[in-house]
Amino acid sequence: MKLFKLLPVFVLLLFSSCQEEKEETDEIDDMATQAELRDPAEANKQWIDAWNRNNPRELDTLTSDDAMLYMEGMPMNRDSIRSWYKNAAPMMKGLKTNPEVKYSSAEVAYEAGTYSHGMKSDTLNNVYGGSYTLIWKRVNNDWKLQVLNIAGSPEDNSDSEMPEDQ
């Protein structure tokens, strides 16, 4: 009879130990997933390398399906980022970025700074530049570009003559 009174305690201990093992397994799985997730800076570097190789297909694989392109802070139409890759990447050369702000969490990462590049057909080797923001989101244990914001540098008018006050 005493054995039947202790049976619920044994069942409770059995379920409790199984639950603790499951929680430990979940924690190990979470750590393995985190170990598999690459640093967003690696995705960012891959994006810049693909840009410099003029590889729109690779750029596309690094970009989320619902990514947005902003030019001078103005949103472009839905699929403009992919057409921009195909039309702009082949014309530019030597993209260099100077990150000034970086952040990453488990779900989102961003980088903002200044950029410079040349143009392939420019025999004068002019350098063009401005500011950029790349916002990455975590999608299926990898990073995908979600927002690309590009703004050119304002014209430098410091050499122009200013009218004198009369």
Q: Which domain holds residue 53?
A: 40-152
Report pLDDT for 19: 53
Report pLDDT for 9: 47
Report pLDDT for 39: 92
What is the average pLDDT score of the chain? 80
Distance CA 120, CA 129 (A): 15
**pLDDT above 70 as % of the chain:** 72
Look at 16-25, 32-41, 78-87, 135-144 and tell me which has the smallest mean pLDDT: 16-25
59 in any annotated domain: yes
Report pLDDT for 90: 86
pTM of the model: 0.70
Q: Which two tokens stand for residue 80?
A: 């403009």
Report pLDDT for 52: 84
130 in any annotated domain: yes
The stretch 114-140 carries a mean pLDDT of 94
Look up residue 153 and give its amino acid.
Answer: S
Report pLDDT for 12: 46
DSSP 163: P
Helix (H) or strand (E) holding 28: helix 2-36
Cα–Cα distances in Å, from 162 out to 31, 95, 156, 157?
62, 35, 13, 10
Reported as a single tens digit per residue, the pLDDT across 146-162 is 999 999 987 654 444 54
Distance from the Cα of residue 133 to its chain's centroid: 9
Number of domains in the chain: 1
157 in any annotated domain: no
User: Three-state DSSP class for 60?
Assistant: helix
User: Three-state DSSP class for 30?
Assistant: helix
159 in any annotated domain: no
**Exposure string (b/e) for 95-129, b if CB count within 10 Å is 16 or more?**
bebeeeeeebeeeebbbbeebebbeeeeeeeeeee
70 in any annotated domain: yes
Residue 145, number of CB atoms within 10 A of its CB: 21
Reported as a single tens digit per residue, the pLDDT across 49-69 is 998 888 889 999 999 999 999
Pairing of strands 108-119, 142-152: unpaired
User: Given a cut of 90, is residue 10 above it in pLDDT?
Assistant: no
Q: Which of 139, 142, 133, 145 is nearest to 63 (CA)?
A: 145
User: Given a cut of 70, is residue 135 above it in pLDDT?
Assistant: yes
Report pLDDT for 25: 47
Domain harbouring 136, CATH code: 3.10.450.50
49 in any annotated domain: yes
